[in-house]
């Protein structure tokens, strides 16, 4: 999810950017937010700067949703509307086991890798544990290779993190929410 931020146009106007469509940004003019109950939406289109593209957020969202829907075949759109299949019994067991793992960032190795202590309080092994990583200049995720940490044991694992783009000494690790069926492809615990 994007965070709100202020962007100044080449003409010196400010926009509170809330998201976008395709490669463009979408936002409001701060002065219109304060003055109008339904402010218009402004978008960047290519390199030409911000243009008013809708009279309200609702209008903008409806237009962009209709435009996005046109990109899908009817069969693919039905699958999107139907949503993902529920977790299987095997996947539910992975979710349950995942919730019993604990991770703690120990520090940074001389080569810049992040060292983690991982405790497996479940009754099974998982190949990976998906976690979140953030620093002052980035937020992302990573997976820890925990396949050697058996039930009831604690081990130490390393991960390169984002040392090529941020100072590893500023990185904070945090647990990410439990997966939902739509998250299957993003959580490494489901990969074998």
pLDDT 10s digits, 134-153: 998 888 889 999 999 999 99
Other beta carbons within 10 Å of 40: 16
The rounded percent of the chain whose pLDDT value lies above 70 is 94
- For residues 49 and 62, the answer to whether their CB atoms sit within 8 Å is no
Average pLDDT of the chain to the nearest whole number: 90
pLDDT tens track for 1-58: 445 566 666 677 888 888 888 878 899 998 898 888 899 999 987 777 889 999 999 9
pLDDT tens track for 119-131: 999 999 999 999 9
Record the tokens describing residue 74, joined without a space: 């009817």
* pLDDT of res. 1: 42
- Residue 168 sits at φ, ψ, to 5 deg, of -60, -20
DSSP string, 43-68: EE-TTS-EEEEESSHHHHHHHHHHHH
């Amino acid at each position: 999810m994007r965070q709100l931020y202020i962007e100044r146009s080449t003409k010196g106007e400010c926009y509170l950017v809330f998201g976008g469509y395709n490669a463009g940004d979408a936002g409001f003019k701060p002065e219109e937010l304060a003055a109008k109950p339904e402010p218009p939406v402004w978008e960047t289109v290519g390199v030409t700067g911000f243009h008013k593209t809708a009279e309200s957020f609702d209008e903008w969202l409806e237009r962009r949703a209709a435009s996005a829907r046109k990109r899908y075949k009817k069969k693919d759109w039905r699958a999107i509307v139907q949503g993902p299949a529920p977790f299987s019994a095997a996947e539910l067991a992975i979710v349950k086991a995942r919730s019993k793992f604990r991770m703690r960032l120990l520090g940074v190795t001389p080569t810049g890798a992040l060292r983690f202590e991982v405790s497996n309080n479940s009754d099974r092994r998982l190949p990976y544990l998906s976690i979140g990583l953030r620093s002052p200049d980035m937020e992302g995720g990573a997976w820890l290779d925990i396949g050697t940490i058996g039930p009831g044991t604690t081990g130490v694992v390393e991960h390169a993190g984002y040392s090529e783009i941020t100072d590893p000494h500023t990185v904070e690790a945090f647990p990410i929410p439990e997966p939902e069926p739509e998250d299957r492809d993003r959580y490494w615990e489901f990969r074998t």
